[in-house]
Structure 1
Amino acid sequence: MAVPQTKAELLNAMESGFVKLLSELASIPQTLATTSDLEGHAKGTTISVKDLVAYLTGWGELVLKWYRLRAAGEEPDFPETGYKWNELGKLAAKFYRDYDSLSYVPLLLRFETTHQELMSLVHSLDDDALYGRPWYGKWSLGRMIQFNTASPYANARSRLRKWKKQTSPLS
């Protein structure tokens, strides 16, 4: 899929990726959602499907936090307070811990809510706000949103499909 360059393209990429990912997630029995045998975000680690959803939720909520802080005139700590861009494996582990107390179905609902909040945010902005200027470094706000929604949704779907082929009850 081409990298979105407009609000309409971004909304389409986010929604279509989300729908495809949800379909993939719906095909996984809850009993397998907490089994840690999916390739992890840090090299040499394994995670569960639930952890994957926590990761996606964490990034989505982080984007919303960045936007809220900027809108309030504050500068966010990118990517997150206490983490550097070269420590994304540690940040992924933080996301797994952040949502560990939620069971799988409530976490899926939170992921859906986060996605809808991101969609609402994009709907509230115009092309210029999304793509007309750099928002973080050289990246526009639209690109930062895409980096943390449509792209990881596609990556997660691909990981799940690979995992399902390797997990005999799902093949």
Structure 2
Amino acid sequence: MARPKSKEELKLQSTENYFKLIEFVEQLEQEDQQAEFPEGYLNRNISDVLCHLHQWHLMMLEWYRTGMKGEKPDMPAKGYTWKTLPDLNREIWEQYRDTPLDEAKSMLHSSFADLQYIIDKHTDEELFEKKRYPWTGSTSLGAYLISATSSHYDWALKLIKKCLKNR
């Protein structure tokens, strides 16, 4: 699927990829929904993956709130750089690793809705004009939202399928 270039495409792709992921998880047998992933993967099960997505939603929401106030957000998170993402992702895993799957689904659904609200309230220009907001640097708000939504959901679905297949 081509990378979204408009509000309509972003809304459609983020929603389609989100529900594709959720529907895939929901159609699995309960045993598969709770299954441990093979060794070598940071996220050890489906709940871990959904919590990872949820936390990245929360970070995106914080970047947005801070950036839109004219301040510089801590990106990706306070104390981390883009080069130390593995450490950040490990911290996310540690924070959420005992989260029950139903709770992970609920948290993800809530933060998904919050990001959809942000997409809804902006125009094509506000979403896709590069350098429009100082906090997004040389890219666009839409690029950040794509990374936090449709692209991330696609990654999650592929990871879950691969891990369930290889266990």
Please, what TM-score do these two structures have when normalized by structure 2?
A: 0.88
> Which residues in structure 2 correspond to 1:1-171 (within 5 Å)?
1-32=1-32, 33=34, 35-37=36-38, 40=41, 45=42, 47-134=44-131, 135=133, 136-167=136-167
Letter in 2 for 1:157: L
**Aligned-pair CA distance for 1:144:** 0.7
Of 90-99 and 23-32, the range deviating more from structure 2: 23-32
Mapped contact 2:17–2:150 kept (Cα < 8 A): yes
Which runs of 5 or more structure 1 residues have no equivalent in the other structure?
A: none
Larger strand fraction of residues = 1
Letter in 1 for 2:62: K
Secondary structure of 1:35's match? Answer: coil
Superposed CA deviations along residues 16-56 of structure 1, whole A, max 9, x for unmatched, are 0001000122134455536243753xxxx452221111111
**Aligned-pair CA distance for 1:10:** 0.4
Letter in 1 for 2:38: D
In structure 2, the CA distance between the partners of 1:154 and 1:118, relative to structure 1 (3 Å rule), is same
**Aligned-pair CA distance for 1:100:** 3.5
Of 7-16 and 94-103, the range deviating more from structure 2: 94-103
Which runs of 5 or more structure 2 residues have no equivalent in the other structure?
A: none
Secondary structure of 1:47's match? Answer: coil
Matches of 1:31 and 1:11, distance apart in 2: 33
